[in-house]
Amino acid sequence: TSLSINSTSATSTITVTAPSGCAWTATSNASFITILSGASGTGNGSVFISIPDNAGAARTGTLTIAGLTFTVSQAGALATASFELLDPSTSGSSPTTECRIRSSGTPPPVTTCTVRSTSVATGSASIANYAWTVQYVYDNPVTVTQTGPNPQFSFSDTCGKTGSTSDGVARPLQVTLTITDSAGGTATVSSGTGAQPALSIRLFTCGS
């Protein structure tokens, strides 16, 4: 008659036991509980539900199944995910919204930019893992990832590839960070969503 889960998304199957020929329905009474299948049935059956990540405070909702109440309790998020972009070649340690792939020399030196977590854990929780994904298009689609305890992730590229220009053509830079706290809860944030600004990568020809 009840289900308790942490702040991460979950699915669950609720078993309905009813006499043969007995018709029943299932209704969600909470906006965060979705019935994926089994909204009605006859006799024995199952109700399959889905609950998304909870980025806020703890919450409780109910379903009415065959006239009975089923309660879902979900813990609140123990951490808030956020990050900032650093371009050491232009902004030093100050946050910026663009990474510039701009260098000179033979062969062209590598340009490195860094994303740094500014995530905050609450209560007694601590952040145990950072999963980074950085994506952009430069000549070809580029995807780089890092997972582990490091709150920073540096990625590098070189000037002068196909698509670069002397004034530095701007392309979208998509960054996604998922943090996992010591209680097993997760939180995810991406550039251009919520309070996170949209980011770009500027691609220069060498020597520009």
Q: Please indicate whether residue 174 or residue 181 has the higher confidence score (pLDDT).
A: 174
Query: What residues pair up with 202 in beta bridges, in sequence order?
Result: 100, 170
What is the tens place of the pLDDT at every residue in 122-141? 766 789 999 999 999 998 99
In angstroms, rounded to a whole number, what is the distance separating the alpha carbons of residues 155 and 113? 6
What is the tens place of the pLDDT at every residue in 27-51? 999 999 999 999 999 999 999 999 9
Mean pLDDT of 141-148: 97
